[in-house]
Chains A and B, each alone.
Chain A
Amino acid sequence: MIEIIDLHASVEGKEILKGLTLTVNPGEVHAIMGPNGAGKSTLASVLAGREEFEVTQGSVTFEVKDLLEMETEDRAREGVFLAFQYPVEIPGVSNVNFLKTAINEIREHKGEDPISAKDFMAMVREKSALVELDSKLASRSVNEGFSGGEKKRNEIFQMAMLNPKLSILDETDSGLDIDALRIVANGVNKLKTPNNATIIITHYQRLLDYIVPDFVHVLYNGKIVKTGPKELALELEEKGYDWIKEELAL
């Protein structure tokens, strides 16, 4: 689904990603873990198309297309979704109204007709129930006055509404209490199909008790230095990252 080869990216002249390679196939869940400053969020930002990050080398192919050549909105329309680490509050912009605009722009991009108001509302009801998001919150201003947990649930609600092929969850678990974490994880699990894929960027192993990854990657100093099964996450949680440094003589 997505093939990242030797990706180098810098911000303000400083190289953060230094040759990252990763392939994700449909139906897979990949966890990317790593210490602070390893480049986890940079990866998410580069994939979503943030302009302040400059790709200096390497390639990212999404299905058959060159992802790096696409505008942010076209990436979203092709089926890439980023759940933000810090969801933005947008006063005055209604959550559901903007989602309707987004869905219709995506449908237009695919040559489909706009969604009917009735179908849309039915979808809002169904998908907000998935993440136990109060339907009142769904129609309020985007993230305005939402608690931390509500913001993250709103991200997964949007993910459910947009039905992406590839979801990148950037530290979606940070700051969540165990109940919110379960709800978010449950939402992600329910959205999983053999045709879509998920990249989970996280600091903590905890989330991976609820969303079981097929692969765990360790990102260190801008590169993936180790890949293993889900048990690797437990080992990281227990032992920290230093042993990997030693093992790999980094």
Chain B
Amino acid sequence: MTVIEGNNISFTEKLKGTSLPIQQEDLATALETLAVTSMPTTRVEAWKYTRLTKIGKVNFTNEEVAVNSIDNYRICASEITLVFVNGHYSEVLSSRQLPEGVNVELISKSTHQLEKTSVKLEGEIFNATNTAFLNDGVIIRIAANAVIEQPIQMVHILKGDHVISNFKTIIHAEKFSKAEIVQGFFTDEGTSNFCNSISEINVAENAHLTINKIQYESEESFHISTEEVQQATDSNFKINTFTLNGGLVRNNLHINVNGKNCESHLNGAYLLKNKQHVDNHSVVDHKVPNCESHELYKGVIDENATAVFNGKVYVRPDAQKINAFQSNANVLLSDNATIYSKPELEIYADDVKCSHGSTTGQLDEEAVFYLRARGLSEKSARQLVVSAFIGEVIEKVENEEVVTFINKKLKERFDWNI
């Protein structure tokens, strides 16, 4: 049933079709999509600056393997820690001391069918792949009125050569609940492995949900994430995305603001070197009035790395009194570093306050000189100026353990000593 013909995609050839209880309709659409869709080229607008040729050339496999420890991958000491290796749940490494109000269910252990997916499958090769070859997934439910003090931590680890993880996270933050999800993505070992992850997130009326997402896969890894968020009336959703390592990374963040009086916060920081390629695509879709969204993405790009930022904000015809702010700022540290930044606003309502901006520059040499003239080494001075630039995004994270982890990884990867 998973034999796919009539296209030029070989990367799924060795994979076994999913046996999870996905809606038949979704599975059929996914398979149909894979049968007729080619790997997008840079002629496709959504992939204009991100070349996928490398992914298309790998014959991915999936294996359930073990890792020994998550010491390097533990972002916070939460008792709710779910560990997945190559998309499979690791009972041994996880800790599931669930407080009242948190329900965690693995899709592989679920007795009922998944709901129809909210992500687009037609023409979307990676979403279709995720659906047709889903390894496992988790359904997290925060009960109505529950306030969960500890973050719910999800640790995703890739291990082995040419491994793909097709994983799905479904989050239901029910009415008046408050919770924080911490997600980490790592490579334990191996090259050309691929994390293909989908999250479907529902933030119900007056619920508060924060996601802190840290990507630290290896420079030989691929990562494509899609987050499809639905916000109901009076809800507050915040996502902070930190891309600190990874070979080819693409984040698709799609926030549907369906209810009035919502707040949406999207913050992102990406720090790249060598030949890394990191692409952040975001959409905030204001469909109804009286909402606000704040988007801040900042990047530091060194050596031969390339970053892409494409942020789109829609304000639909009836969505009056919207405050939507978007900003993307980049610092290029080398002559060979590249950024493609495209902030977009599409406004169809007339009583709104919206702004967007994109800046790209080099490091402020005058600031570096000033600091050196006070006795700081050139390295310290540069680091201080870069970390101050990125610090504006890190400051958005309220969880101190997450901040500490980010700083630790920055030290590990960029030898920062701040």
Contacts and interface: CB of A to CB of B under 8 A. Distances in A.
Interface of A: 48-50, 71-73, 75-77, 81-82, 84, 87-88, 90-93, 98-99, 101-103, 105-106, 109, 141-142, 158, 162
Considering the complex of A and B, which 10 residue pairs feature the smallest CB-CB distances, nearest first? A92-B388, A76-B375, A88-B370, A102-B375, A72-B372, A102-B374, A93-B388, A106-B375, A73-B372, A90-B367
B105 interface: no
A58 B374 CA distance: 25
Interface of B: 364, 366-367, 369-378, 380-381, 384-385, 387-389, 391-392
A115 to B, nearest CB: 13
Contacts of B370: 84, 87-88, 90, 142
Contacts of A50: 369
Contact of B385 (A81, A82, A84, A93): A93
Nearest to A76: B375
Given A84-B370, A87-B370, A101 B385 contact: no
Contacts of B364: 88, 90
Contacts of B391: 92
A105 B377 contact: yes
Contacts of A73: 372-373, 375-378, 381
Contact of A101 (B376, B388, B389): B376
A162 B374 CA distance: 8
Contacts of B367: 88, 90, 93
A93 B384 contact: yes
Contact of A48 (B373, B378, B385, B388): B373
A81 B392 CA distance: 30
Contacts of A103: 375
9 contacts: A49-B372, A73-B376, A76-B372, A88-B367, A88-B370, A90-B367, A98-B384, A101-B384, A106-B375
Most chain B beta-carbon contacts within 10 A, residue among A72, A82, A102, A103: A72
B385 A90 contact: yes
Contacts of A142: 370
Contacts of A84: 370, 373
A162 B375 contact: yes
Q: Is the interface of B mostly helix, strand, loop or mixed?
A: helix
Contacts of B377: 73, 105
B369 A98 contact: no
Contacts of A99: 374
A157 to B, nearest CB: 12
Contacts of B384: 93, 98, 101
A87 B369 CA distance: 11
Contacts of B381: 73
B27 to A, nearest CB: 49
Contacts of A48: 373
B351 to A, nearest CB: 32
Contacts of B387: 92
Given A90-B388, A92-B388, A93-B384, A71 B374 contact: no
A38 to B, nearest CB: 22
A102 B376 contact: yes
Contacts of B389: 92
A75 B375 CA distance: 8
Most chain A beta-carbon contacts within 10 A, residue among B371, B373, B377, B385: B373
Most chain B beta-carbon contacts within 10 A, residue among A49, A75, A76, A162: A76
A162 B367 CA distance: 18
A105 B375 contact: yes
B373 A98 contact: no
B416 to A, nearest CB: 13
